[in-house]
């Protein structure tokens, strides 16, 4: 249940509550219907992290339940219901992620996570009561068919029966987050060293690296196995045959695990060979780009003025407005403190209608990281104030971020320097193709783990290594435990693959007709909440990765690079 509650507010760069699949006409993008959102001009540092009055909220729910049995209370009933819907908070989570040693925010976040699990069940029960009362018609008219559909679908994803299991899940994820931010060490030449201290060009450096990751894998992998068992129990309790099916529903997917497997096989057979050709043809440029990234100073603040200038040239004015809002209110954190969670994400602070960007990744502290997250930030900026069962979509959300990375290629000389711009353009395509391959690999890995619940940690490590190698030609035996999505939002990773295909489609458009590509991008970013991924593709003029030949088309395109 943690994934259901957390998924809406986090878009992890490298999450959406569910929405029911229906056979409806392609919707108008929600942001085009009503994109007048009032963003409060409050700096992040001035935002009050005040615990909601949970007792008062529980009492409101009880009062609302009782009111549904009375007559003549239409306006009071609906007004009270709306007040309850507004009870959302993400500030405690952000503060805890900024300092995972802060026990106050750890306790606050855990308490709220557990409460919102129970709140979700209470809201399902309250909604059911109102829809079975004499206020059924007025409630349906006020809420709309889409809201009712989401309630009906969401209600099967939670139950009082799994509340204790969900609390255990929350606790394990919190343990993982804290451990992930800690330093793992070993002894080398009489000194205690971390991975950052090692020279991996030496045998002793490689040996020390292996020792560190063996420790990390044993500890974090043990948590993963506990989460696996808990999550299978949650799915079975709710009547699902498999956790994989449940997880896909939690994420609001309008495609199935089988669809993902078929897509992944096309990627492995058609895109992987083209990827190899592209690497061979551009090997020197890729090495130069990687070397440049590793030697950079990681000054993400310096990226923002360049991003603003680039946006002002040919992107919608709303994008510059969103960036100004972010900077003026310091709604981002690029610090690199030891106790800060290792992740990059964008989230939404509902009380202030304010997106927030969080970046702390030692491996990718460059312009692409900021551009990627700003794609998410802009989409959140267009979002209306969200409530209890609103949903966004991971696959479309990642198009917002990945396509922006590629559309920024004409400005790479400013972001990376004239001598590195061409190499970085090649690297950005390489990175997008890698996202597709790894996205497929990680989904196949997770499907296999949950289909074989008796695997030991050693067997899980070997499984990951084998699958990862089949897509990338590289082994990843111990290090997979650093992929926090597997712990926090299972089955997220396939969205990086589906979205990157669409991002590359927009890039291919931009090569031939940049105005058309910019229009396509603008259209897809207008889809913010309560839509279906494949409908959004159709509405934006993009191809469906499951039914079209877009994988083979992208493969042919990259062969020519």
C-alpha span between 363 and 350 (Å, rounded): 30
Determine whether domain 242-560 maps to CATH 1.10.1370.30. Answer: yes
> According to CATH, where is 1.10.1370.30 located in the chain?
242-560
pLDDT, one tens digit per residue, over 127-154 is 999 999 999 999 999 988 888 998 998 8
What is the pTM (predicted TM-score) of this model?
0.89
Q: Which of 90-104, 158-172, 493-507 has the lowest mean pLDDT?
A: 90-104
pLDDT, one tens digit per residue, over 347-395 is 999 888 899 999 987 555 589 999 999 999 999 999 887 777 788 899 9
Provide, rounded to the nearest whole percent, the portion of the chain with pLDDT above 70.
Answer: 91
C-alpha span between 421 and 264 (Å, rounded): 31
Checking if the pLDDT of 23 tops 80, the result is: no
The pLDDT score that the predictor gives to residue 238 is 97
Burial of 34 (0-12, 13-18, 19+ CB in 10 A): exposed
Phi, psi dihedrals of residue 188, rounded to the nearest 5°:
-140, 120
pLDDT, one tens digit per residue, over 404-444 is 999 999 999 999 999 989 999 999 999 999 999 999 999 99
C-alpha span between 407 and 506 (Å, rounded): 8
Checking if the pLDDT of 297 tops 70, the result is: no
Contact 370, 304 (CB under 8 A): yes
Tokens linked to 510: 């931009």
Average pLDDT along the chain: 90
Q: Give the relative orientation of helices 367-382 and 394-407 as an angle to the nearest 10 degrees.
A: 130
Going by pLDDT thresholds of 50, 70 and 90, the confidence category of residue 543 is: very high
Residues 245-253: what's their mean pLDDT? 96
* Torsion sign over Cα 241, 469, 270, 519: positive
Going by pLDDT thresholds of 50, 70 and 90, the confidence category of residue 181 is: confident
Contact 329, 43 (CB under 8 A): yes
Residues 79-89: what's their mean pLDDT? 77
Which of 393, 390, 150 has the alpha carbon at shortest distance from 253?
A: 393
Give whole-number Cα distances, 21 to 169, 261, 394, 474, 530, in Å.
27, 19, 15, 37, 11
C-alpha span between 268 and 498 (Å, rounded): 14
């Amino acid at each position: 249940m943690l994934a259901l509650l957390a998924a809406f507010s986090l878009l992890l760069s490298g999450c959406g509550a569910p929405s029911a699949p229906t056979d409806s006409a392609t919707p108008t993008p929600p942001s085009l219907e009503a994109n007048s959102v009032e963003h409060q001009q409050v700096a992040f540092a001035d935002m009050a992290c005040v615990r909601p009055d949970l007792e008062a909220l529980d009492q409101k729910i009880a009062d609302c339940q009782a009111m549904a049995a009375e007559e003549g209370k239409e306006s009071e009933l609906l007004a009270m219901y709306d007040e309850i819907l507004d009870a959302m908070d993400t500030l405690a989570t952000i503060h805890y992620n900024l300092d995972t040693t802060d026990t106050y925010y750890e306790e606050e976040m855990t308490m709220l996570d557990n409460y919102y699990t129970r709140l979700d069940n209470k809201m399902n029960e309250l909604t059911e009561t109102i829809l079975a009362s004499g206020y059924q018609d007025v409630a349906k008219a006020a809420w709309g068919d889409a809201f009712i559909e989401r309630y009906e679908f969401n209600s099967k994803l939670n139950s009082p029966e799994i509340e204790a299991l969900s609390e255990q899940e929350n606790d394990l994820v919190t343990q993982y987050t804290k451990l992930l931010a800690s330093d793992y060490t070993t002894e080398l030449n009489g000194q205690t060293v971390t991975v950052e201290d090692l020279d991996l060009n030496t045998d002793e450096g490689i040996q020390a690296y292996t020792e560190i990751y063996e420790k990390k894998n044993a500890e974090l992998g043990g948590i993963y196995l506990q989460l696996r068992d808990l999550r299978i129990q949650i799915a079975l309790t709710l009547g699902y045959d498999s956790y994989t099916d449940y997880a896909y529903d939690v994420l609001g997917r309008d495609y199935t695990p089988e669809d993902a497997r078929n897509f992944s096989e096309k990627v492995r057979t058609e895109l992987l060979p083209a990827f190899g050709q592209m690497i061979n043809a551009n090997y020197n440029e890729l090495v130069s780009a990687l070397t440049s990234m590793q030697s950079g100073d990681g000054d993400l603040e310096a990226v923002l003025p360049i991003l603003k200038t680039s946006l002002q040239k040919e992107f919608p004015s709303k994008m510059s407005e969103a960036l100004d809002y972010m900077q003026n209110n310091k709604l981002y954190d690029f610090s690199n403190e030891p106790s800060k969670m290792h992740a990059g994400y964008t989230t939404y602070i509902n009380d202030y209608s304010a997106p927030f960007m969080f970046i702390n990744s030692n491996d990718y502290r460059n312009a692409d990281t900021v551009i990627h997250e700003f794609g998410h930030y802009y989409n959140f900026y267009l979002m209306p104030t969200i409530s209890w069962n609103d949903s966004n979509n991971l696959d479309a959300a990642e198009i917002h971020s990945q396509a922006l990375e590629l559309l920024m290629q004409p400005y790479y000389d400013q972001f990376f320097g004239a001598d590195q711009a061409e190499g970085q353009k090649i690297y950005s395509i390489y990175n997008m193709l890698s996202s597709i391959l790894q996205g497929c690999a990680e989904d196949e890995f997770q499907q296999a783990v949950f289909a074989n619940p008796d695997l030991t940690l050693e067997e899980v490590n070997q499984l990951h290594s084998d699958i990862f190698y089949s897509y990338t030609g590289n082994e990843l035996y111990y290090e997979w435990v650093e992929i926090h999505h597997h712990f926090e939002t299972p089955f997220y990773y396939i969205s990086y693959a589906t979205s990157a295909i669409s991002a590359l489609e927009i890039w291919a458009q931009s090569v031939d007709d940049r105005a058309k590509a910019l229009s396509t991008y603008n259209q897809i970013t207008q889809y913010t909440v309560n839509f279906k991924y494949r409908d959004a593709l159709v509405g934006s003029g993009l191809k469906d990765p499951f039914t079209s030949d877009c994988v083979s088309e992208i493969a042919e395109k990259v062969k020519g690079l």
